[in-house]
Amino acid sequence: MSLAVSAIPTCFKRTTTPRHKRRVPRNTVLNKDKLWDLPVPYVLDETLALNAKGIILQAFEQFRLKSCVNFKPRGSEYHFISAQKNRGCSSHVGRSSKYGQPLSIGNYCDHIGIVEHEFLHALGIWHEQSRYDRDEYVTIVWKNIRRGHERNFVKVSPHYSTTLGFPYDYSSVLHYSETSFSKGEGPTIITKQPEYQKIIGQRLEMSPQDALMLNKLYGCKKSISFMEHCNFDNQRLCGMSRCTKSFVGGWKRRKTVIGGPYSDFTNLGKTDSTGFFMHASTASGQEGDTARLESREMTPSRKCSVQCLQFYYYHSGNESDQLNVWMRVYRDERNPNGTLHHMGQITGSPGSHWMPYHVPLTATKTFQVEFEVRKGAGQSTGGFSIDDINLSETECPHHTWQIKDFENLLTTSDINTVVYSPRYYSPEGYAYQIAIYLREMLFGVYVRLVSGKYDDQLQWPYHHRQVTIQLLDQNPHTQQRMSKQISITTEPSLQDDYDSWNNPRKVGMLENRGDKSFYVNPAVGYLKFLTLTQLKHREFLKGGNIFFLITMQDISSLHFNNSLPCPKWSPQNLIINPNNRDEGPCATKRTLCVY
């Protein structure tokens, strides 16, 4: 099978700006006139590749999730950022010019970490290794720097910049790598703490400290889209309420449960775990008994009525037991109990691992989330456990793919062994698969179209869609994560006689896999997605498992617009007890919590 392969560059290309006019980013600006009024106006220039436009909008969502900085399409503002495709990846530092301050996302720059890097410059933050105190943390090897690039490593005086009181951040997305601007004879930067030598230069996402520094620079703390996090380590349970119907015990706060889980998810893999999770046993009681855990009330504030609830669950009960997720919406005071909506359900065979679960929500008014465990017909020796709840005003991923015992699989499999995901469907009904190419010390990630059950009803070729494949950093707090992701857009082929995004039944090859046969197109992706060393830097591996979060999005409107329409939500076909009756919220008195 032929493969269309793209490689991630190891360095950025130089810009066409004359050397004497180039800005050398250092740390944060002292001149407050260099800061932007919020939200920051922007324009996506027509020169940008469609894939780059989509990634810029993804980066904006990360800024909204992790910081108080927001962006908006330009109206009539004089000061705005004009994202363009020039040579390389570059930006001015802080607000510097009217009528469209250029920010370049050129060839090979369309990766979320690189885009965040450039926008952090535009917002007023300079490179980490240019701090005036950097010599306490790194050594610059001047003899290894390419001639003419020494200026990139000059420190900035404290008279012109500030660290805002933050410690040196080896993990900053604004730090150079160990070989930046090297002439090929060794590293240009050596960390004083050797364990950070391979960490500097990461382009996953902005670090937690990058976000904190940005908030302090702009004098604000409140995130635009983040709403709630709860790991149950506090006895107050994040303000949640419990109630039961005929259940013995209901939801309980536990450190461990006989039969699993044996640890909370927050501290999974740590020998000194002292964390807690919530557990509702189905080992006793009658069929139909319920235990409910109800969040405090929250009010959405963004234009699109879209929220994503993410949590980890452990199912150790009977296959007929259910964990239902409800959303109670309070539209007005005439209905004090609100209206209950069934949004998600977990049932079926029990497992032996903590699993992530995402539930799209669509609240337009003040709402609560309810976790309901419902006992099924069969015998049970366990129940349901949940931990590390995160709620934000963002879109949920479409699919989650788990690969168990991944490190062993990677290091013991034959070179170029391929692991395929299940067949997934886009919101429009197009079928596709993710493929992982194992190469012992690193692995590649690809996507391919495959034949599906709706092919004869769809329009072909399948162009202007962006598939995003994210290897989840399993940090329990969504604002602390630095996941690894790639995005690939289904652009028309440059070849006249073939298109990887056409109907697989017409242009693909028939493939037999087990007892199934289907047509497949060539895969498109990245040969070097992540190395084994990089895999261990964050919490990508937890309990031996990795998870890919996958989204396929229509971004065709970015050809003519600077933003995308609000996502659409399709109701799921969920089965519950037909005699289910809403008995109102657990708490007897509603307390409005606005975020």
DSSP string covering 450-512: B--TTGGGS-SS--SEEEEEEE----SSGGG---EEEEEE-PPPSSSS--TTS-HHHHSEEEE
Question: CA dihedral defined by 397, 403, 405, 411, rounded to 10 degrees?
Answer: -110
Task: Mark whether 118 is an active-site residue.
Answer: yes
CA distances from 205 to 32, 114, 213 (A): 26, 8, 14
Q: Exposed (0-12), middle (13-18) or buried (19+): which is 513, by Cβ within 10 Å? A: exposed
Assign a CATH topology to domain 399-559.
2.60.210
The kind and range of the H/E element at 66 are: helix 50-66
pLDDT of residue 248: 66
pLDDT of residue 35: 96
3 state DSSP class of 83: strand
- Residues 55, 564 contacting (CB under 8 angstroms): no
pLDDT of residue 274: 82
Binding residues: 117, 121, 127
Residue partners of 483: CB distance under 8 A and separation at least 6: 204, 205, 470, 471, 472, 473, 538, 549
- Say yes or no: do domains 22-217 and 399-559 share a fold: no
Report the predicted TM-score, pTM, of the whole model to 2 decimal places.
Answer: 0.92
**What is the end-to-end Cα distance of the chain in Å, rounded?**
51
- Residue 573, CA atoms < 13 Å, CB-side half-sphere: 0
DSSP state, residue 125: B
pLDDT of residue 593: 37
- Token representation of residue 523: 């895969």
Strands 322-330 and 339-346: antiparallel
- Residues 361, 310 contacting (CB under 8 angstroms): no
Superfamily of domain 22-217: Collagenase (Catalytic Domain) (3.40.390.10)
pLDDT of residue 19: 33
Q: List the one residue out of 491, 525, 492 whose CA is nearest residue 53.
A: 491
Q: List the one residue out of 399, 323, 308, 397 whose CA is nearest residue 361.
A: 308
Assign a CATH topology to domain 229-392.
Jelly Rolls (2.60.120)
Tens of pLDDT along the chain (595 residues) come to 333 333 323 233 333 333 333 333 446 777 888 999 999 999 999 999 999 999 999 999 999 999 999 999 999 999 999 999 999 999 999 999 999 999 999 999 999 999 999 999 999 999 999 999 999 999 999 999 999 999 999 988 888 788 999 999 999 999 999 999 999 999 999 999 999 999 999 999 999 999 999 999 999 989 999 999 999 998 899 999 998 776 667 999 999 999 899 999 999 988 877 899 999 999 999 999 999 999 999 999 999 999 999 999 999 999 999 999 999 999 887 888 999 999 999 999 999 999 999 999 999 999 999 999 999 999 999 999 999 999 999 999 999 999 999 999 999 999 999 999 999 999 999 999 999 999 999 999 999 999 999 999 999 999 999 999 999 999 999 999 999 999 999 998 655 557 899 999 999 999 998 888 999 999 999 999 999 999 998 999 999 999 999 999 999 999 999 999 999 877 776 766 545 667 788 875 444 333 3
Choosing from 61, 77, 118, 319, which is the catalytic residue? 118
Tokens 């005036």, residue?
132
Binding residues for Zn(2+): 117, 121, 127
pLDDT of residue 513: 84
- Residues 559, 51 contacting (CB under 8 angstroms): no
Residue partners of 477: CB distance under 8 A and separation at least 6: 229, 231, 388, 390
3 state DSSP class of 590: coil
DSSP state, residue 306: -
pLDDT of residue 25: 41
pLDDT of residue 581: 63
Write the single-letter amino acid at 296. Answer: R
What share of the chain has pLDDT > 70, as a percent? 91
Query: Could you tell me the residue ranges of all domains in the chain?
Result: 22-217, 229-392, 399-559
- Residues 484, 540 contacting (CB under 8 angstroms): yes
